[in-house]
Amino acid sequence: MDLSRSCRALTLGAFLAFLLVTPAYAADEDEPTAMAMAGDLLIARPGGIILTTLGAAAFVVSLPFSAAGGNVSKAAEHLVIKPAKTTFVRCLGCTSIGRYQDPDR
């Protein structure tokens, strides 16, 4: 009975590992697809908001140490500004930071 459970767990694990390593082919970045936009809206943006909030909290906690070390701007850049730009200054479905640039223009 225990061997059967182990075999099922091993089979399920192998199947899940196969799904995770299957290559996903991305569309051109210039023209985001509807799926990319939906995934960005439902998964990436809320995650970015959470990371920006956690980064801001970490920045505030690390501020005395950053000030003593003289790298406040670097800490702000990596903990707050980059996550905020990735979350808020990026077209929906795009992977690069910045506003959408129409490839036909």
Higher pLDDT, 92 or 63: 63
pLDDT of residue 23 exceeding 90:
no
At 28, the pLDDT band (50, 70, 90 cuts) reads very low
102 burial via Cβ count (<10 Å: 0-12, 13-18, 19+): exposed
> Which run of H or of E encompasses 83?
helix 82-88
pLDDT of residue 54 exceeding 70:
yes
| Residue % of the chain over a pLDDT of 90 | 52
Residue 56 vs residues 19, 80, 85: alpha-carbon distances, Å: 35, 5, 13
Q: Please report the pLDDT score of residue 25 as a whole number.
A: 44
**pTM of structure:** 0.63
For 5-13, what is the mean pLDDT?
57
Higher pLDDT, 105 or 86: 86
Distance separating alpha carbons of residues 33 and 95, to the nearest angstrom: 12
Q: Where are the domains of the chain?
A: 28-88
